[in-house]
Amino acid sequence: MAEQITYRRVYEDTAPRDGKRVLVDRVWPRGMRKEDARLDEWLRDVAPSSALRKWYGHEPARFAEFRHRYLAELRDAGHREATAHLRDLAAHDRLVLLTATKDVDHSQAAVLAAWLEEGR
């Protein structure tokens, strides 16, 4: 059975079996025009806070702590509506979480995908 929730870079080509394509970054990807993104949604309210994103700095050595802090943020009231919407999308269709981050395995998209899979 194919995975229902995946993640990858927003700059990569679409695939026929993508399902819903959701950008989960707080800021728009550099160098990408909105009409070229081929998104179903941009759900920036599910992204890590700016303070957490800046602290993390995409340093793999900080990923475990980033994951811990980000999962805590996902439980707060500011993220509740966005996370509920994301869960609903995942329950009804295949879902691709998109990010501009170069190291997608150490990104919020990876954390979200695992978190959504655990909740299924």
Instruction: Note the pLDDT tens digit of each residue in 54-101.
Output: 999 999 999 999 999 999 999 998 899 999 999 999 998 899 999 999
The predicted model gives 29-49 an average pLDDT of 93
Is-contact 21 38, C-beta < 8 A? yes
Task: Give residue-wise pLDDT tens across range 94-115.
Answer: 999 999 999 999 999 999 999 9
Q: Is 58 left (phi over 0), alpha (psi -120 to 50) or beta?
A: left
Helices (H), the chain: 50-56, 63-74, 77-92, 108-118
- The pTM score is 0.92
Residue 2 pLDDT: 43
